Amino acid sequence: MGVDSAGQTLMDNPHFIILGNEKGGTGKSTLAMHVIVHLLHQGRSVGVIDLDSRQKSLTRYLDNRKAFSEEHGLHLAMPEYTVVERSAEDSVRVMEDEERAWLEQAIRSMNTDFILIDCPGNDTWLSRVAHTYADTLLTPINDSFVDLDLIGQVTADGSKVIKLNYYSELVWDCRKARNMNDKESTDWVVTRNRLASLTSRNNRRVERALESLKRKINFRVVPGLSERVIYRELFLKGLTMMDFGKVQQIGKMQLSHVTARKEIRALVEALNLPLD
């Protein structure tokens, strides 16, 4: 549950899911779309706020879904969705106040069970504010030490943490702010995306490094997704792996799709979202 800058409770009790990572292209919007459709298929209402007002990838994904649904007369389940733009004000103070007010307005306008906020792949004021709302913070990282470095620096073999880095400090600050506001805590979930091979040496090193980092910072690691062309192809139709079997026009389900759907289901279920 969120509290606005005036200390007022914003909604009845929506569950906030934030997709965040300061690195671009790690799969935030792709995962966001899959979480949204999963929730819709569970009969839950979802409000979506896109903070990436320049790329608007998630908005475009949802627009594609709407268009595909209309074109084929499918009545696909859709969330409510909106973009919060960046302020053009020069004064940092005025800009921050304006953007925060726009975000709070967007949140208030959604009367849904879940509110999902997709953050851009860089550090922005709005992204920081969004992190303070997180009941669930989902951070996908690509399978490399470059991505891992945003969370923390580890020794070459991954066995020891040298220091925590910028993004974990940001999450720490936002968790603290959230805890002061409404005494709730954030479930921070890290997942690896675009895995090449589960048996590679790199994979084992990243795994070990995550284990080391987990001991220092309070996050969970949930099963990740392999690199698959299908994720890029589905974007144009606005469809997800969850739509296989439900939407005939998605095409024939191949063996690799069955495995992909298992992966994404395992990931989404491991989020332990409140569905009861």
Ligand X SMILES: Nc1ncnc2c1ncn2[C@@H]1O[C@H](COP(=O)(O)OP(=O)(O)OP(=O)(O)O)[C@@H](O)[C@H]1O
Residues forming the site for Mg ion (CB under 5 A): 28-29, 57
Q: State which residue has the least CB distance to ligand X.
A: 121
From the list ligand X, Mg ion, none, pick the one residue 172 interacts with, judged by a Cβ distance below 5 to 8 Å according to partner type.
Answer: none
* Residue with Cβ nearer ligand X (57 or 168): 57
Q: State which residue has the least CB distance to Mg ion.
A: 29
Select the span of 5-13, 50-58, 91-99, 107-115 touching ligand X (CB under 6 A): 50-58
217 neighbors 161 (Cβ within 8 angstroms) = no
- Classify the phi-psi angles of 188: left when phi > 0, otherwise alpha if psi is within -120 to 50, otherwise beta: beta
Q: How many residues appear in the chain?
A: 276
Q: Which of 9, 55, 200, 256 lies at the binding interface for ligand X (CB under 6 A)? A: 55
Does the protein bind ligand X through residue 75 (CB under 6 A)? no
Tell which positions 120-149 bind ligand X, by CB under 6 A: 120-121
* Residue with Cβ nearer ligand X (55 or 254): 55
Does the protein bind ligand X through residue 197 (CB under 6 A)? no
Per-residue DSSP letter, 157: T
Nearest approach, Cβ of residue 32 and Mg ion (Å): 8
Backbone angles phi, psi at 83, to 5 degrees: -110, 140
Does the protein bind ligand X through residue 240 (CB under 6 A)? no
Nearest approach, Cβ of residue 120 and ligand X (Å): 6
Q: Describe the chain by its helix, strand, coil percentages, rounded to 5.
A: 45, 15, 40
* Residue with Cβ nearer Mg ion (11 or 103): 103
264 neighbors 226 (Cβ within 8 angstroms) = no
197 neighbors 167 (Cβ within 8 angstroms) = no
CA atoms within 13 A on the CB side of 37: 24
Q: Which of 1, 3, 25, 60 lies at the binding interface for ligand X (CB under 6 A)? A: 25
Does the protein bind ligand X through residue 63 (CB under 6 A)? no
* Residue with Cβ nearer ligand X (11 or 195): 195
Q: Is 46 helix (H, G, I), strand (E, B) or coil?
A: strand
Please state, in angstroms and rounded to a whole number, the distance separating the CA atoms of residues 94 and 91.
Answer: 5
Does the protein bind ligand X through residue 193 (CB under 6 A)? yes
Please state, in angstroms and rounded to a whole number, the distance separating the CA atoms of residues 128 and 176.
Answer: 12
Does the protein bind ligand X through residue 65 (CB under 6 A)? no
Please state, in angstroms and rounded to a whole number, the distance separating the CA atoms of residues 154 and 211.
Answer: 11
AA identity, residue 166? Y
Q: Which of 26, 69, 87, 212 lies at the binding interface for ligand X (CB under 6 A)? A: 26
Interaction site with ligand X (CB under 6 A) = 24-30, 52, 55, 57, 120-121, 193-194, 225, 227-228, 231-232, 235
